[in-house]
Amino acid sequence: MITKFKQQYPSGVLVIFLLQMFTMIGFAINQSVLVLYVLKTFHMTEQHAYSLFGAYMSLAFGASVLGGYIASIAGYRLTLLASLLLAAAGLFSLAIPGLLAFYFGLSAFVVATATSLPTIFVLLGRLYMDHDERRDSGFTIAYIGMNVGAFVAIFAAGYIEKYLNYAAAFIIGGLFMLISFVLFYLQKENFKVSDHIRQTTKKPKRKKLLALLMGLIALPSTGFLLTHSTLSNILLIVIGFASGIFILFHAFKSHGIIRAKLLVFWILTVISIIFWALYMLAPSALNIFVDRNVDKHLLGWAIPTITVQSLNPFFIVTVGPLLSILWIKLSQRNLEVSTPAKFAIGTLLMGAGYLVLLPGISLASATGIVAFGWIILSYFLQTCGELLLGPVGYAMVGTLVPVPLLGIMMGIWQLATGVAGALSDYLAELTISPSASQLPIVTDSTFAKAFAEFGLISIAVGVIAALIAPKLTRIMNAD
């Protein structure tokens, strides 16, 4: 089977698959336990925990623009090796008791994620020629590896925390980062660039020193922003707002179809920010709701709170292939679903994922405990929305943006996820009960009000997106 795989795909694709799987184990463990860890270990307030999580997610994704730039100067192979070691050090540091070790570890992990995330995809792209028909399938394999790793990590993390402790979860994540380092070090020759690319991308020593300096500054800067998480979230939102103005400036400076396509890009970026801001509530506010207000028994088996989050990658791995088959069948019948339509349907599904929790809360037990089936249904709907909206983003940028602006607009598209992470903090805070009580019978009403607002906002955006989708599609398909 492995021999057949090597014949069908370039040497190195299997390495990327394993790298995505192993590195995602570390990232998913950190993401899934972070809010509960700071609440139960450092006794942070919910507001502080949500603010910190928002800053963590926004910096990890938003700073990847800078991380990709550093990698382009220092070299992608060297950068990936360094980032994997830094990620391992960060996770090991998180296992050490105390706030100083915690903030150092989280800062190191954010910087490592921001550099490794774009670097792995660049290295994967180098394995293919520009018009290689296998390129899309190679990226799909990497996406599958990432979600297999996420499912294994999140599913196991709950039991590791339950039977061992949080420190053990962080250490296991760090060990997988070291495994990733060894794997890539042994296979790095598969990712050598051609002589032509080496000559055209060779950087002078002063630029490499600049990359090193930027990397050294990134660590304390990230630490400062994490310890001032509210400031960090405000900063990311302001940068996001400025980026939106930047897109509109270039749109109205342009003419004809270029202007129209840039406006479509702006609209789809705004929709994606709303979608991902609601999506990122799963490891924070939704996680707290599951922990305190949900009966987590399935077929007589008690499921740890953290493990519940593994429903997302589980549905991605199981439902994703079915959706891929559906798209192929529809395309063969000339019924292909356009990118704007996928954005609209995905956003509607996200809204439905929150609204479906309302009957669950209304049917709660006398003590306010909600049946687990409603959470499963919510995750299923949200994940189906992700499968519609998530995979098409980067391809959409190349379709809508003129070549001279492609680099900066790709960076803004990545930054949009960071902005969503910052916004998720403010959304999560809407679920905090004004009462000091954590009893489900008291907090159910607060969660219900917030979930209703999240669902209705998402549904409203989805309906508007559906109404304008035909026009946006015509613009996208125009020459």
Both 241 and 281 in one domain: the answer is: yes
pTM as predicted = 0.86
Last residue of a domain, one of 227, 262, 289: 227
Q: How far is CA 328 from CA 324, 336, 412, 467, in A?
A: 6, 8, 30, 24
Walk along the chain (479 residues) and give the pLDDT tens digit of each residue.
555 555 566 777 788 888 889 999 999 999 999 999 999 999 999 999 999 999 999 998 888 878 877 887 888 888 899 999 999 999 999 999 999 999 999 999 999 998 888 788 778 777 766 555 555 556 667 777 888 899 999 999 999 988 989 999 999 999 999 999 999 999 888 787 654 444 444 556 666 677 778 877 888 999 999 999 999 999 999 999 999 999 999 999 998 899 999 999 999 999 999 999 999 999 999 999 999 999 998 888 899 999 999 999 999 989 888 887 887 788 788 888 888 999 999 999 999 999 999 999 999 999 999 999 999 999 999 999 998 888 777 667 778 888 788 767 877 888 898 999 999 999 999 999 888 788 999 999 999 999 999 999 999 999 999 999 999 999 988 87
Residue 407 domain-assigned (yes or no): yes
Both 252 and 117 in one domain: the answer is: no
Residue 418 domain-assigned (yes or no): yes
Q: Of 282, 290, 268, nearest to 476 (Cα)? A: 268
Residue 3 domain-assigned (yes or no): no
Integer Cα distance of 476 and 399 in angstroms: 7
Both 233 and 218 in one domain: the answer is: no
- The residue range of the domain holding 453 is 229-479
Integer Cα distance of 125 and 13 in angstroms: 10
